Chain A
Amino acid sequence: GAGVSQSPSNKVTEKGKDVELRCDPISGHTALYWYRQSLGQGLEFLIYFQGNSAPDKSGLPSDRFSAERTGGSVSTLTIQRTQQEDSAVYLCASSLGAAGYYQETQYFGPGTRLLVL
């Protein structure tokens, strides 16, 4: 019955390094979303996974960003060659993804705070 979990909770890295952020969705949720939230900015959609369908990657800001979802459960967001402008809170959310899912609500994890020095 646990909620969405994310790790690490905080990450400090040097410019140019790669980072991996992990998301464990709620068990049974087939839809998974990644967002980025910067200070004073709204939630920025990054990528969406739904079951076995091809992910919607339309929000990824550059080809340095990629995400995977293994076994329809855990997801990893990878940022290669990090830049200072990548500093933000990265939030993961999951939802049921059932038929009629357009009315679904999203359940968020606590986020990973990324600081690129």
Chain B
Amino acid sequence: SQKIEQNSEALNIQEGKTATLTCNYTNYSPAYLQWYRQDPGRGPVFLLLIRENEKEKRKERLKVTFDTTLKQSLFHITASQPADSATYLCALVNAGNNRKLIWGLGTSLAVNP
């Protein structure tokens, strides 16, 4: 069956450390993968997109990697801050069905001061 999985357990880290969130998928061939941030009571906000032929993408303190062999994307926040506390969602578009994003359940991140 097709699955997209993120760590269900909340991640708690200390301010200044690097947070690493995981997104694994099964039986998909993603054309690209996106990461979004969602705060309580709000809709998701786009952060980064990485294509199937890209290994890594960076934006300020954020870094995304994409390993199609491992079928995994990692999302890193360096020098984390309490304001980074939120739920982070990964979403992919399967090749051949490029209109529909398939979403993970998200991982909750708490950055402690």
Stretch from A40-48, A61-69, A76-84 at the B interface: A40-48
Q: Identify whether the interface residues of B are mostly helix, strand, loop, or mixed.
A: strand
**Complex contact B46–A106 (CB within 8 A):** yes
**Complex contact A42–B34 (CB within 8 A):** no
Partner of B101, one of A4, A45, A107, A110: A45
**Known A42-B104, A42-B106, A43-B89: A108·B43 in contact at CB below 8 Å:** yes
| Range, interface on chain B | 20 to 34
Interface size counted on chain A using CB atoms at 8 A:
22
Contacting residues, chain A, for B43 (C-beta < 8 A) = 4, 91, 93, 108-111
**Known A42-B105, A111-B43: A103·B89 in contact at CB below 8 Å:** no
B interface residues (Cβ-Cβ under 8 A, vs A): 31-32, 34, 41-46, 49, 51, 89, 91, 93, 98-106
